[in-house]
Amino acid sequence: MDPNRPYGRPFDRFPTRREHEDRWAELARAIAAAPGPDRPGLDGGHAEPATPKGELTVLGSGIEAAGFTRADERLLREADHVFHCVADPVTVVRIKAWRPDSYDLGVLYDDAKDRYLTYVQMSEAILHFVRAGRRVAAVFYGHPGVFVLSSHRAVRIARREGHAAVMRPGISALDVLCADLGVDPSSPGMQTFEASDLLIRGRRIDPGLHLVLWQVGLVGELGYQRTGFFNHRLPVLVDRLEEVYGPDHAVVNYIGARYRGTAPVTDRHTVAGLRDRAVQRTVTSASTWYLPPAVAAPADPRMLERLGLIRPGQTVRPPTGPVRTVDDYGPRELAALDGFTDFHVPGGYHWQEDTPAARFVLALGEDGALRERFVREPEAAVASWAPPDLADAERALLARREDAAMQAAAKGRYRRPTPEAARRLRALLTRKSEARALLRSVRDGGPGGGLGGDGSNIRRDLDTVLAEALYPWTGLYGTPDGDLDVYVLGRATDPPRHRIHVNGQRITAPRHDHGVLR
């Protein structure tokens, strides 16, 4: 392939329709011949783990065409069997080129079939090879856990039957909506409803929050139409919105862009404007509606007092609008700009080095064999990969297979100072003579007083020493109302002589370990 013209030729390996239909016919016969609903675990009971044990990984292709991560691509290439249910033809082509033997779950849709039956069949097709002890990858468009019944069903049944099953997140319609429309779900908050469920169950809408309505183009539809839906029941949804917001409130008909170089659909209307049949024809099965907050919710003064955010009797400024303004240049914003005048990078800022532990985590995402061994034998996997500069403490952290431990190892902060460097740091913190000697050494061009060559590791070593020390916390602490006061006297060289008083009463045998006082 010409590197200057990628994808200029057809893919070398691509399935034919006949090959795909033949594979589905064989799979359908195998599923039909398998044991029925009395299979252990399918009746909702707690069956013994199935033998052999299979693996299921559910992936999301995102909203943008073929929006796979490199790790997801490798998972698709390495799986024994691949299933996909994606709405975008470009993504289908990409999957078929990688895996000509993949199964398109879209064949299970039919105009004469209830969608729920289709979803159950999708789950059973995916589970068939999992139950045979194989590694299966299933791809769904967007986020595989957002408005996808069959993915959740397959994962839960697989786990119940003793198989390994994980779901990896993808980019959903809500994610791209927030990005394209500039919506922050935290300010002031967000409600999301499936449009039909909103109507059927009489869900209560809070007009003070962002509102996102899913599947507005399928209101009241339980079946499937390959040619699309006709929005016959859309006026019922409009009636509900007008009850809450009135006829003039804004509504955005949103459809995320799937292809690079194109723009998302962000058609803005009023609630009343949605009654126009021409407008309704622009609402498709991919449409999501967004309605901004209509009213501002005032803060509760009593709760602010309980949280200590205001003092008793202090007044609360009423909100200026339903959504926080984030693009002003008022006094506080100008003060932030003035802060650049004498800005220096803070001493506590952590500069991320190129650490061997970080490279190990990157390798896990791209090396399937290493990842599988890491799950089975974490210590052996780390040892087989580890370069000489991977410290023992970092190896142990990686082998724990815990998020926080692996993050700590990747940061590289767990390399303990040498005993001599730790001793000198403690002396510097507690003895003026040592501090003066270091200052004289630095002034005269010295190497840093035995604290690690040129002193480049001093800050990292200092963090470690302080994490184990109580003496920097020596002082008197109390609550604003005076109900609690704590006196701390931390000893630098004699920890058993730490003194802790709470409301004047001495606490015996206090313990301090890595920043935690007990």
What DSSP line would sit under 152-187, residue for residue?
A: HHHHHHHHHTT-EEEE-----HHHHHHHHHT--TTS
What DSSP line would sit under 109-126, residue for residue?
A: --TTS-HHHHHHHHHHHH
Record the tokens describing residue 229, joined without a space.
């839906």
Q: Is 289 exposed, middle or buried (0-12, 13-18, 19+ CB in 10 A)?
A: buried
Distances (CA, A) of 216 to 51, 237, 289, 350, 448: 44, 8, 7, 47, 68
| Residue labelled with tokens 């007009």 | 207
Record the tokens describing residue 149, joined without a space.
């019944």
**Alpha-carbon gap, residue 439 to 435, rounded angstroms:** 6
Q: Is 233 exposed, middle or buried (0-12, 13-18, 19+ CB in 10 A)?
A: middle
Residue closest to 400 by CA, chosen among 416, 384, 415, 381? 381
What DSSP line would sit under 393-425, residue for residue?
A: HHHHHHHTT-HHHHHHHHHTTT-PPPHHHHHHH
402: Cβ–Cβ under 8 A, 6 or more apart, which residues? none
163: Cβ–Cβ under 8 A, 6 or more apart, which residues? 49, 50, 53, 54, 55, 56, 130, 131
Residue closest to 42 by CA, chosen among 110, 115, 128? 128
For 239-367, strand residue ranges (E) read 250-255, 265-270, 288-291
Q: Which of 74, 115, 275, 491 is catalytic?
A: 115
Residue 141: active-site member: yes
440: Cβ–Cβ under 8 A, 6 or more apart, which residues? 446
The verdict on whether omega for the bond into residue 510 sits within 30 degrees of 0, i.e. cis, is no
Strand partners of residue 289: 213, 253
Residue closest to 196 by CA, chosen among 215, 173, 223? 215
Q: Which of 94, 103, 119, 460 is catalytic?
A: 119
Terminal CA-CA length for the chain: 66
Q: Which of 99, 103, 131, 141 is catalytic?
A: 141
| Residue labelled with tokens 């606490």 | 507
Q: Which secondary structure element, helix H or strand E, spans residue 442, and what is its range?
A: helix 432-443
**Alpha-carbon gap, residue 302 to 77, rounded angstroms:** 58
**Alpha-carbon gap, residue 126 to 149, rounded angstroms:** 13
- How does strand 55-60 pair with strand 135-140? parallel
**Alpha-carbon gap, residue 464 to 426, rounded angstroms:** 11
Catalytic positions are 115, 119, 141
